[in-house]
């Protein structure tokens, strides 16, 4: 089971130092880009929360896949729902970012997910088809299914609902790209519900936001997923 911590913009410098001094497990952590150098050279691998769709050049505030890779970053989250919403990222831009990441040998964590009032299958299908357009190297693609109504809300779908959705995602990718992909679940995963969620069939791991910023809780989650 892969455990990926999306630390978002939660931590101050002091909290980062405290985290690093107390936590060293084989997970993947995606801190704020400015803190990435502090997270290097531990048991965990590093992901970045977003990458630019451009190579290098005059793009103030952006970080390229090449820059991330050179620093030792292995993964990039792309298309997180918060970026889709607040940064108005489109599926076409997300696709460009994915292609750029793959070109630079980053593993991509593509986030997809629907809002409560949306047609789930239609939304996921569009995000998959447009997001993965022209992708060839599916070995470096992970899909994180994160229903928007479950992010930061304390609510999760039932195991059966997630299982059916994973099946839909894998079938859609098989039918359209003839490839297999690993699917992770994200949205309000914590030390209490992970015991139940880990029983989901065909699930390859978790993308964890808030709970991953608490190293004690993250250690408990790591232990729960070992047995």
* Catalytically active residues, by annotation: 80, 146
- 7 binds ligand PGA, rule: CB under 6 A: no
Distance (Å, whole) CA 53 – CA 219: 34
Query: Using CB under 6 A, which residues numbered 71 to 100 contact ligand PGA?
Result: none
User: Which of the stretches 96-104, 162-170, 182-190, 195-203 binds ligand PGA when contact is defined by CB under 6 A?
Assistant: 182-190
**6 lies in the binding site for ligand PGA (CB under 6 A):** yes
12: left (phi over 0), alpha (psi -120 to 50) or beta: beta
With binding defined as CB under 6 A, does residue 114 bind ligand PGA? no
209 part of the interface to ligand PGA, by CB under 6 A: yes
Q: Is residue 194 part of the contact set for ligand PGA (CB under 6 A)?
A: no
Total residue count of the chain as it appears in this document: 227
Residue nearest ligand PGA, Cβ-based: 209
Instruction: Please give the Cα distance from 33 to 68 (Å, whole number).
Output: 9
Whole-angstrom distance, CA of residue 42 vs CA of residue 51: 22
Q: Which of 27, 48, 143, 189 binds ligand PGA (CB under 6 A)?
A: 189
Alpha-carbon span 187 to 145, nearest angstrom: 8
Interface with ligand PGA includes 205 (CB under 6 A)? no
How far apart are the C-alpha atoms of 223 and 139, rounded to whole Å? 27
Q: Is 186 near ligand PGA (CB under 6 A)? A: yes
28-30 vs 75-78, strand pairing mode:
unpaired
Query: What residues make contact with ligand PGA under the rule CB under 6 A?
Result: 6, 146, 151-152, 186-189, 207-211
């Amino acid at each position: 089971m892969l455990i990926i911590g999306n630390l978002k913009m939660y931590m101050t410098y002091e909290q980062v130092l405290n985290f690093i001094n107390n936590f060293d497990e084989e997970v993947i952590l995606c801190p704020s880009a400015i803190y990435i150098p502090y997270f290097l050279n531990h048991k965990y691998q590093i992901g970045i929360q977003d990458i630019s769709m451009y190579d290098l050049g005059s793009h103030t505030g952006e970080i390229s896949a090449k820059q991330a890779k050179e620093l030792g970053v292995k993964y990039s989250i792309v298309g997180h729902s918060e970026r889709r919403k607040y940064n108005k990222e489109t599926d076409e831009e997300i696709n460009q970012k994915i292609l750029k990441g793959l070109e630079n040998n980053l593993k991509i964590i593509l986030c997809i997910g629907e809002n409560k009032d949306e047609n789930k299958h239609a939304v996921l299908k569009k995000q998959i088809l447009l997001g993965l357009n022209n992708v060839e190297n599916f070995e470096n693609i992970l899909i994180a299914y994160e229903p928007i109504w479950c992010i930061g809300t304390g609510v999760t779908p039932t195991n059966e609902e997630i299982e059916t959705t994973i099946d839909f995602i894998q079938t859609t990718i098989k039918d359209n790209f003839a490839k297999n992909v690993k699917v992770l679940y994200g949205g309000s995963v914590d030390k209490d519900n992970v015991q139940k969620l880990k029983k989901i069939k065909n699930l390859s791991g978790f993308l964890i936001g808030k709970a991953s910023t608490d190293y004690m809780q993250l250690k408990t989650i790591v232990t729960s997923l070992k047995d």
